[in-house]
Chain A
C-alpha cells in the first residue's frame, strides 16, 4: 500500500526567503503528484500538479519530481505571511482510483 511521508512536520521561514518542503512516496509506479494548501479552518486548494520527472511551475510554487529517488519537492519563492498554512502532498499510484495524502507540513512565514 502506498505510503506518503512529508518532512519537516513544521517549518518557519522569514518572509521573502525560499521555503522547501519534502515528500517521499513508496510506490515507484506512481504517476500523479499534487501539492495542496490548507489555511486554518478551510478546505484544500491545489497549488501544482506534476506527472513526469522534472519541474513544474505555477506562480510562486515549483514542484520537483524525482521518481528514482521517490521524492517530490515543493519550493515556494518569496513567501508572504499569507502563505502560512498546512501543505499537503498527494500521490496516486499507476492505475489507482485514489490519492494518498501525506500528513502535511505546517509552514509559518514570519514577517
Chain B
C-alpha cells in the first residue's frame, strides 16, 4: 500500500521552541519534498531531497532545515519557531520527479 505518513498531525509550540516534523514513505521513492500551505498563498516548496544527504532549497527555505539519513525518512526542523511559521506542512514523495504522493499534513500552531 503506497503511503506517506506524517507525524505529528497536530502540534502547538511556543515562539522560540524547536519543532521537528517527521515524514516516512514506504515506496522507496528517491525524491521527497516539504511544502507549507497557507490560505491565499497555496502550496509553497520549502525543501527537496533527491536522496540520502542530497537536499536542495525550495522557494522558501529561510527558517527551516531538513535531514534525510534514510531514503524512507525525511525530517523538517524549525530551530526557534516563529509565529509566521504557523501553517499546515505537507510532505510528499515521488520517483524521479513523477507523480507526487502526499501525506495528510501536519498542522503547526506557534503561539
Contact = CB atoms under 8 A, between A and B. Distances in A.
Interface residues of A, number: 20
A45 B103 CA distance: 9
Nearest to B104: A43
B24 interface: no
Interface stretch (B35-43, B66-74, B75-83): B35-43
Interface string A16-48: 000000000000000010101000011111100
A104 interface: yes
B104 A98 contact: no
Contacts of B97: 32, 92, 97-98
Q: Is the interface of B mostly helix, strand, loop or mixed?
A: strand
A103 B41 contact: yes
Given A43-B4, A43-B90, A44-B90, A101 B42 contact: yes
A46 B40 CA distance: 21
A45 B102 CA distance: 7
B7 interface: no
B58 interface: yes
B48 interface: yes
Nearest to A43: B102
A103 B102 contact: no
Contacts of B92: 44
A92 B101 CA distance: 16
Given A44-B102, A46-B100, A97 B43 contact: no
A99 interface: yes
Given A34-B99, A43-B90, A102 B42 contact: yes
4 shortest A-B CB distances, which residue pairs?
Answer: A103-B42, A43-B102, A101-B43, A44-B102
18 contacts: A32-B97, A34-B99, A36-B102, A42-B105, A43-B4, A44-B90, A44-B92, A44-B100, A45-B102, A88-B43, A90-B100, A97-B56, A97-B97, A98-B58, A98-B97, A99-B100, A102-B42, A103-B42
